[in-house]
Amino acid sequence: MASLLPRENDFVNALLSLTLDPKHAQDACRLVAGLTEEERAEFVALADAHHVVIRALEPVRNCAAGEQNAELERWASAAIGKERRRIENALTRLHAIVGELEAGGCPTVVMKSLEHWPDLGNDLDLYTTAGERKVIRGMVSKFSAHIEARSWGDRLANKWNFAVPGLPEAVEVHAQRLGQTGEHTSLAQRFVSRRQPKTLLGLTFQAPAPEEALIVATLQRMYRHFYFRVCDIANTSQDVDAGRIDYTELRQAAEQAGIWAGVASYLKIVSDKVQQYRGTPLALPQEVLHAARVNGDEVNVRARFLRVPIMPHGAQLYTTQLTKTAARGDMEGAFRLTLLPPLATAAAVAYKLTGSDKGVW
């Protein structure tokens, strides 16, 4: 993907325009229309990395139809059709998997993956309150799943990755813990106790309540990866616009977990990016804006994604979380959090030496 680098900023901007304000994305449509076949393949690959293939290409197809650009319309339709077939297979298999886990005594919620609808992530993420033995027994005996190699971070977080025959996507199961070091247990239980049914393609899944969906997005973006995908901004803005979020409930849960500053910062970043592409910010409560420590101007495209500065913001959020975790008497959670800096250092060294941090992070 080296050829993408000179244009990645243009491509990410186009994806944001197409997903956040599709009715006024003519410039983005013209950009796609002018790409070579190779560049279009790179554009779709980037849209896939941001989990917005369908949300980005449907406006392109509509624009092409309106301008009677039959070639572009055919190209977009073919890419959308291919992605929809992948999603249908993934959801069908996922429905069978969660059904068997539930029947085997593993209360399960599908995290993150369903939030991207009509798109779908490249991994299928689950959380269960059951222990790992029940999960492994169900996955291996019912689906002949292969347990993938686990990194140090996976072991701390009690996360298991399974390869299932006939399913290109990995199934990632978090057992009883959430967070980079598995520091969240009480918070994690909310994902099952407050789960809600969600029906897609005639299949009903259990999904997180909007507040938990926002919390897990924050954990991923502000406390682990320190980058945003376009889907994060599109997903969250849709929930805020629809009035789905109970901010009192959200703040109570986030403060208890020591991550309210991170949640507020996540929302502020999303709001600022929405304002950049729509002209108006999200309607966020003042309590969110006052608690935010990072704004969208500090989040820019680099290495394919929208990067959050680790220094000072990531370090400050980590310190706040650690302090609040210790203050509420959660010594195990605090100890786990102290393992994060050496783990991150080991991951950075591994990446520098081998080009990958997979065995660590």
Whole-prediction pTM: 0.94
Domain residue spans of the chain: 209-328, 331-361
**All residues at 6 or more sequence positions from 276 whose CB lies less than 8 Å from its CB, including other chains:** 16, 296
Digitized pLDDT (tens) for each residue of the chain, 361 residues in all:
444 556 899 999 999 999 999 999 999 999 999 999 999 999 999 999 999 999 999 999 999 999 999 999 999 999 999 999 999 999 999 999 999 999 999 999 999 999 999 999 999 999 999 999 999 999 999 999 999 999 989 999 999 999 999 999 999 999 999 999 999 999 999 999 999 999 999 999 999 999 999 999 999 999 999 999 999 999 999 999 999 999 999 999 999 999 999 999 999 999 999 999 999 999 999 999 999 999 999 999 999 999 999 999 999 999 999 999 999 999 999 999 999 988 777 666 555 555 655 555 5
